[in-house]
Copies of this chain bind each other. A is one copy, B any other.
Amino acid sequence: MHRRTLTVREVERAVAPGVRQRLWTYDGTAPGPTLHGRIGDTFVITLVNHGSMGHSVDFHAGTLAPDRPMRTIAPGQSLTYRFTATKAGIWLYHCASMPMDAHIASGMFGAVVIDPPHLPPVAHSYVLVQSELYLGPQGGTVNLAKLNAERPDEVVFNGYADQYDHAPLTAKVGQRVRSGVLDAGPDRPTSLHVVGGQFDTVYEEGSYRLRRGTTRSSRT
């Protein structure tokens, strides 16, 4: 049983060097906190809305209806969700209040990672959430015209422009690394590619596309 409170806060944050935006967040960061569990685990999540408008949370990791148990709540309210993870993967959660793309583009998204059974150990495990920045004025909110035109200023990982150029995710040659990759959008697809690296195992959309050992033996 995973019990967790997510608190909606509308805060000003840096999204690139020298660039500050008014974000709508879960727990003050965009993306919000990563939740982690296994198949069969139950999550009991309490959403507390400390924002200035209606917000909500829609967990793709479960099968709750967004119009009822995951409905929008007014400022000052809270709501508790309970779901059991039955399928492995990295699942989006996001605010589903309208206009939904503006809530997501303002920072209201995050990941629930449900491990498939029998995951081998790795030296490093990372989560990369891709999203877009549609920059408003300094300290201001998302630019809706850019959002409607699907013309982001930046496509970023984990909410901050080019951050891993400056502080790379590290691993030593020969180490195995696992990365959860989630595209929160709201618009752009992802084409993740590790420069100088090749994946030997890929679990995507509910099943292994590549699996070290298994895939090779089925090919030869």
Contacts and interface: CB of A to CB of B under 8 A. Distances in A.
Contacts of A206: 199, 202, 209-210, 215
A10 interface: no
Contacts of A208: 218-219
Interface string A113-133: 000111000000000000000
A167 interface: no
Nearest to A208: B219
A179 interface: no
Contact of A117 (B207, B215, B219): B219
A5 interface: no
Contact of A195 (B58, B116, B215): B58
A198 B118 contact: no
Contacts of A210: 205-207
Interface in A41-89: 58, 60, 63-66, 70, 86-88
A213 interface: no
B196 A64 contact: yes
Contacts of A191: 189
A170 interface: no
A196 B65 contact: yes
Given A117-B220, A189-B189, A219-B116, A63 B209 contact: no
A116 B217 CA distance: 12
Contact of A207 (B88, B193, B205, B219): B219
A198 B87 contact: yes
Of A58, A87, A195, chain B has the most CB atoms within 10 Å of the CB of A195
Interface of A: 58, 60, 63-66, 70, 86-88, 96, 116-118, 189, 191, 193, 195-200, 202, 205-210, 215, 218-220
11 contacts: A58-B195, A63-B197, A63-B198, A65-B196, A70-B196, A87-B200, A117-B220, A202-B206, A206-B215, A207-B210, A208-B219
Given A58-B195, A60-B198, A63-B196, 20 more contacts: A64-B196, A65-B195, A65-B196, A66-B195, A87-B198, A87-B200, A88-B219, A96-B195, A116-B219, A117-B219, A118-B220, A189-B189, A189-B191, A202-B206, A206-B209, A207-B209, A207-B210, A207-B219, A208-B218, A208-B219
